[in-house]
């Protein structure tokens, strides 16, 4: 099993396969340090409860994948329950791509447990004849199921939001839809929208394959994809996978030294300047200051790349006598990777008290 921190929540998957603009499908193995270049390569290995993770970048999707029969698409799940995740502000351009089959959709997922999270998709498909050939959400074996979270769609060509059977159960949560050339009637099915925002329309259009009750309309978007006006709770900046997620971060200060308290106790020392202190908060700060009084039985060791080196190492040595149970490697998109192991019970407060009677809890937002 592989653990990763996504948007502040630690989750576990059977396998994680990484994709990068600098990846290679021939020599890559899907690890973060050796990623693939394409989604079909990662999908060829993916099984139930796997995560496919796009590292941040600008992706040109020049060719569609044939899912089944006449369905051509960019993202798909082969009816497996998987998660497909993109780092915030990763950009995917679909501009009249090569397609050897009839239909050209951005997303075709059919398993009810599949999640698509965090994408910015720039969609333009004009070289088609009828509406079902260019519906932005397509079907596999007749159905579109699963959920799309916190994704921003720039829709440059006329489209509809469904080409699926009437049992369609695809839902979009906290997504943005920048509709630049109007909508057309859907051939079949409906997609549900919840807490989403839309430009250039005043309501959901059932004829275009849309349903839902709690959304915002006639908004515009700034350069960071914030909706204008900013309606709290709606669009990509809110919800389960908010692009705005930035918790307050805490370090302990003791006699001018700053102490890491993220499931461990480590004296970082005195920062050379404010810029270094800011980096310490970003990389080592923890969002729950009350951890210092908790009884802990795990220790986390952040990984760093020393100056001039090419590989990560732990910030400080592990004590072999203190290791209980397993040693795990955990990846964190925001703060970097770390090693975790079980340990003898300890409290950070006791370690602070061993040094001095007083300490400060410091914070950055």
List the chain pLDDT tens, one digit each, 365 residues.
Answer: 888 988 877 899 999 999 999 999 999 999 998 999 999 999 999 999 999 999 999 999 999 999 877 889 999 999 999 999 999 899 999 999 999 999 999 999 999 999 999 999 999 999 988 999 999 999 888 889 999 999 999 999 999 999 988 778 899 999 999 999 999 999 999 999 999 999 999 999 999 999 999 999 999 999 989 999 999 999 999 999 999 866 678 899 988 899 988 888 888 889 999 888 988 888 888 878 888 889 988 888 887 655 454 555 555 677 888 888 778 888 776 667 888 888 989 999 888 888 777 889 998 76
Q: Are the CB atoms for 180 and 200 separated by under 8 Å?
A: yes
Q: Are strands 83-86 and 324-332 parallel, antiparallel or unpaired?
A: unpaired
Per-residue pLDDT, 316: 67
Among 181, 233, 175, CA closest to 191: 175
Block residue for tokens 């579109």 = 144
Torsion angle of C-alpha atoms 57, 244, 121, 59, degrees rounded to 10: 0
Is 113 exposed, middle or buried, given 0-12, 13-18 or 19+ CB atoms closer than 10 A? middle
Provide CB contacts within 8 A for 276, sequence distance 6+. Answer: none
Per-residue pLDDT, 245: 64
Per-residue pLDDT, 312: 57
Token pair of 148, please?
């799309």
Token pair of 19, please?
């994709």
Domain boundaries, the chain: 56-228, 249-364
SS3 assignment, position 148: strand
Cβ count within 10 A of residue 13: 20
Per-residue pLDDT, 265: 87
């Amino acid at each position: 099993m592989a653990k990763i921190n996504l948007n502040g929540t630690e989750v576990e998957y059977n396998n994680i396969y990484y994709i990068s603009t600098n990846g290679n499908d021939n020599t890559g193995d899907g690890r973060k340090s050796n990623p693939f270049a394409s989604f079909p390569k990662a999908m060829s290995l993916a099984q139930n409860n796997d995560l496919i993770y796009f590292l941040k970048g600008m992706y040109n999707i020049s060719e569609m994948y044939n899912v089944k029969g006449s369905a051509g698409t960019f993202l798909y799940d082969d009816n497996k329950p998987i998660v497909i995740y993109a780092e915030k502000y990763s950009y995917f351009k679909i501009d009249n791509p090569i397609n050897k089959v009839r239909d050209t959709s951005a997303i075709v997922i059919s398993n009810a447990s599949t999640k698509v999270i965090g994408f910015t998709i720039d969609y333009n498909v004009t070289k088609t004849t009828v509406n079902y050939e260019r519906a932005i959400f397509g079907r596999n074996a007749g159905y579109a199921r699963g959920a799309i979270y916190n994704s921003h769609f720039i829709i440059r060509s006329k489209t509809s939001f469904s080409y699926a059977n009437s049992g369609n159960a695809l839902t979009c949560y906290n997504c943005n839809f920048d509709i630049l050339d109007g909508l057309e009637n859907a051939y079949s099915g409906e997609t549900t929208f919840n807490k989403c925002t839309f430009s250039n329309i005043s309501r959901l259009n059932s004829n275009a394959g849309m349903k839902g009750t709690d959304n915002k309309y006639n908004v515009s978007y700034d350069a960071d994809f914030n909706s204008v006006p900013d309606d709290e709770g709606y669009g990509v900046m809110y919800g389960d996978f908010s692009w705005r997620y930035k918790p307050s971060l805490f370090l302990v200060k003791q006699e001018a030294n700053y102490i890491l308290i993220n499931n461990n106790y480590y004296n970082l020392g005195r920062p050379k300047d404010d810029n270094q202190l800011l980096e310490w908060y970003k990389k080592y700060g923890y969002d729950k200051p009350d951890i210092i009084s908790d009884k802990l039985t795990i220790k986390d060791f952040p990984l760093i790349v020393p100056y001039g080196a090419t590989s990560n190492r732990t910030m400080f040595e592990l004590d072999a006598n203190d290791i209980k149970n397993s040693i795990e490697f955990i990846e964190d998109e925001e703060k970097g990777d770390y090693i975790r192991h079980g340990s003898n019970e300890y409290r950070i407060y006791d370690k602070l008290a061993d040094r001095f009677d007083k300490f400060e809890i410091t914070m950055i937002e």
